[in-house]
Structure 1
Amino acid sequence: MKGGTNGRPKEGQSTRIQSINREIILYAALEVFSIHGFRGSTVDQIAARAAMSKPNLLYYFRRKQDIYRAVLEATLADWLAPLAAISPDGDPVEELRRYITAKLAMSAEKPAASRLFANEILSGAPVVGDFLRTRLKRLVDEKAGIIRDWVSAGRLAPVDPHHLIFMIWATTQHYADFDVQIRAIIGSQVDRPGFREQTAQAVLTLVLNGLKPRP
């Protein structure tokens, strides 16, 4: 691939490389932070996991705190997308089915992100506390309003919207945050084909059957 003047990467190439390197750093940092926590992690560990020199890593992020915040912000953006997608115009049960299914898939595919966020919350949310009280609260209140309207219209069984959302979070993220406990109880079944589908079916059956309108 040819570069620009004097063999240097062109501006577009440089931007792509920088974007790729940032993603590599954030992925490595997620793994390190989810295992060791913020205090137990070091920039050297993150650089080693990213197969990158420490000076190169510090070109993208000045401090460990900056990396940690960026990882949490990326995690929250991913997690909130399925919640934000709940539409007031859709069928209530199907909208919630899609949300729960997406949350279970994220717990299975990105367990480190769930554990990192859990550790942040257990530490008192020193980094994302403002986010929880502002953007997250606004989004949850908005979606709770949609659920409340569905209940009022008789399209869902009577349920407190906020507690429903909390229950969905607790149930779906349990499979990531308590993976060690689950494996201790049911062993190798966790890695068998179909376990994720079985899990999703069990959770969906329990939650959605309880939400369907009663005659």
Structure 2
Amino acid sequence: MPQSKNKAVKEAKPLSRIQEANRKAILDAAVDVFAVSGFRGATIDEIASRAGMSKPNLLYYFKSKQQIYQQVLEQTLEDWLAPFAAIDPEGDPIEELRRYITAKLEMSAKRPEASKLFANEIIHGAPVIGTFLQTTLKDLVDEKTKVIRHWVGQGKLAPIDPYHLIFLIWATTQHYADFDVQIRAVAGTQAGRPGFAEQAAQAVLSIILNGIRPR
């Protein structure tokens, strides 16, 4: 008896450890290249070279520059949204927002190239992730604004607009990655000293959290 079409379709084989490592190397290299050159300026050859492999080897894992770019953006958004999605409606508002802001600051410090890549995508009109922003991101933001409004209604936070609070957190935490050159120009040698990132995090947390505490 012939197999059904569904059974005849072969499932994709899971990647080996080496294949997983190669994919990660490509995506890590692509973040750096796209952050500096943008999508148009970046080349497959440059990404392959930075990843330490040949162009044909890279194309075994990703068929096009567009596919690599989209994968990098999706991974960046997935990482960024995880701590945002984890905000617990039943938790203490100040502590929940403290954890989220701290996580965003740490991501900006550890992966500034990813933040710059995302900023470039937005500046150019979000041609790749526009639909994601209007659907998945908007739905999650709407969900969290309801949580913040509920906290305000309970008197646990000052009367603030949830959307503008979220925009403020995004802008402030990503500023340290996206405008690193400006920060170093203004702060001088202080910006390169040990402890500067921790000092910045403490200042940001103090300013934002003290501003939203109930009066």
* Fold conserved between structures, TM > 0.5: yes
Residues 150-185 of structure 1, C-alpha deviations (whole Å, 9 max, x = no match):
000100000000110000000110000000000111
Alignment partners' CA distance in 2, 1:133 and 1:17? 36
- 1:126 and 2:127 aligned: yes
Structure 2 length-normalised TM = 0.93
Residue of structure 2 equivalent to 1:25? 26
Distance 2:43 2:96 in 1: 41
For residues 60-79 of structure 1, the aligned pairs below 5 Å read 60-79=61-80
1:197 is aligned with what amino acid? Answer: E
Which position in structure 2 is the counterpart of 1:192? 193
- Read off the aligned partner of 1:17 and give its amino acid letter: I
Which residue number in structure 2 is paired with residue 156 of structure 1? 157
Equivalent positions of 1:1-150 (< 5 A) are 15-150=16-151
Between the aligned residues of both structures, percent identity stands at 68
| RMSD between aligned residues | 1.0
- Matched pairs, number: 203
> Alpha-carbon deviation of 1:118?
0.3
**What amino acid is the match of 1:28?**
A
Q: 1:77, 1:17 → 2: CA distance? A: 23
Q: TM-score, normalised by structure 1?
A: 0.93
What's the CA shift string for 1:132-166, capped at 9, x where partnerless? 00100011111111000000010000000011000
Give per-residue Cα distances to partners, 1:76-122, cap 9 Å, x unaligned.
Answer: 00000110010001100000001111111111110000000000000
Once the two structures are overlaid, the 10-residue window that deviates more, 186-195 or 79-88, is: 186-195
Shift of 1:188: 2.0
Query: Which segments of structure 1 move beyond 4 Å, counting only runs of 4 or more?
Result: none
Equivalent residue letter for 2:93: P
